[in-house]
Amino acid sequence: MEDVVGIKTYITSHEGINGIFKESPEDFYVEEVADLKFGDGDWVVLKVKKVNWDTLNFVRVLSNRLRISQKRISYAGTKDKRAVSVQNFALKIKSEDELERLRNLSIKDAEIEIVGRTNRPIQLGDLKGNVFKVVVRKAKNVENIPLIESELRAKGTPNFFGLQRFGSIRFVTHEVGKFILKRDYETAFWIYVAKPFEGESEEARRVREILWNTRDIKFGLKELPKYLRYERTLLQKLREGKSEKDALLSLPENLKMMFVHAYQSYVFNNVLSDRIEEFGSLKVVERGDWVDFVNLNDHYTFREDFVNVHGLNFRRVKFLIDRRLCALAIPLPGYETVLGDDWTSERIRFYLERDGIDLKDFKHEYKEFSSKGSFRVADILIEHTNFKYEIKGDVTFNFYLPKGCYATILLREFVKKPLF
C-alpha cells in the first residue's frame, strides 16, 4: 500500500515488533503544542479534548450548535478521527448570546474549556508540534526496539509524508493533482470520483468500479453511498451541464489545495526513498544538497531557513549535522524551484519527466492548483523528540514531533508495517 505514495523502504535493518495499532481511539493520544498569545480581542480560544472526532467534522458540528459560520472557527491543523486529541480552536464571537451558547455548549465525547481571548484567528504558524502517546498491542521482538532506535539516531529518521496526506482510504489525491497539473481535468475528475481502491467498503468499491468503466452519471448518483458527498456533488455538477473542470473548481478551497500538495508530497516521498536506498543514511550530504537548521527551546522546531550546500559552507554544515543541529532537506517542486545537477535535483527531474510534468506547470491559472514550491526536512532527528517507550505486555511510545511530522512514519520503523 505505501509504495503507491512513494514510501518504498525502511532505513533500519532490524525486524519490527508488528503488533496492533489503534485497537481503540484511546491507544493514540495526541496533544498540540502551540504558541498562543492571550489578551483582549474578539476571538475566544477553546482547548478541546475529543475522542473519535476528526477535526473537520467537529468544526461542522461546533458551527451548527453555536449557529455561526465555519469561517469564524480557526485552528492550526487537522487531527485523525480514531484518536484522543487535544486541540486548540479560536472562535470569533460577535454577541453575548453567542458567548452564552458557547459557555453552555456540550458535545458528545468532547471536553471543551475556554482558555482565553486573542485578537486574531489561530494559524498554522502558531503550532510548534504535537506530543504523542501511542500504544502498540500484542507486539513481538520487543528486544529490537533499542536496536532500531540506535539505528535511527545513527542514520536518521525518514520524514515521509504519511498515507493520510493522500486520502482517508483511497490514496489517489496525488493522482488527481498530477492530472490537474497536466490540465487533464476529465481524468482528474474521474479518478477522484470513481477510481476503485483496495481497502474501501465492498459496496463503495463495487459502485466505483462500474462508474469508472461506464462514466454513467445517473447510475453514480443513484448508487454511490450518501456519505460520499463530494463525489455525489461533483456528479451532480456534470448532470447540470458543467464541465469536469468547473465541477472540480466547485469543491471547497482547502480540498482543492490538497491535490497539488499531495502530488508534491508523492515526489518528495519517492526521492526520499531513493535517497535511503542510494546513501543508506540521511546524515550524508553532498554539495548541491539543501539543509535546514534546528531551534532547541522547550520543544524543538525547524527554522525553515533552507540553505544550499556548497564549497564554502560544506564543512560547517557537516559539523552541524554531526551534532544534530542541522538536517538534510528535499525540495517540494513548484514553479520557483531551481533544479541543479546535484543528486536530489536529478531524482526530482526524473519523477517529473516520468509523469509528463514541467516545473512551469505548477504556475496554474487557478491559485488553488498553483504552487511556487518549498522544502521539507528529510530527517525527523529522533534525538530531539524526547523519545521513550515502556514495555508492559503492550508497548507504549511517548514522543514529541515538530509540526508536519507524522507519528505513524516514526513508528513504522519500529513496527515494520503500514500503520494506517
Measured CA to CA, the distance from residue 57 to residue 286 in angstroms comes to 45
Are the C-beta atoms of 22 and 61 separated by less than 8 Å? no
Of 40, 42, 80, 379, which one is the catalytic site residue? Answer: 80
The residues, any chain, with a CB within 8 Å of residue 36's CB and separated by 6 or more, are 45, 88, 116, 118, 122, 126
Measured distance CA(278)–CA(272) in Å, rounded: 10
Nearest CA-CA partner of 419 in 54, 137, 174, 33: 137
User: How wide is the angle at C-alpha 164 spanned by C-alphas 371 and 86, nearest 5°?
Assistant: 105
Question: What are the cell numbers at 282?
Answer: 540521511
Check: CB of residue 374 under 8 Å from CB of residue 326.
no
Query: In this structure, what is the dihedral angle of CA atoms 211, 218, 230, 197, given to the nearest 10 degrees?
Result: -10
Active site residue 80: yes
**Distance, CA of 396 to chain centre:** 23
**d(C-alpha 245, C-alpha 283), whole Å:** 44
186 to 87, 132, 255: CA distances (angstroms): 38, 41, 18
Neighbours of 195 (CB within 10 A): 16
Cite the active site residues: 80
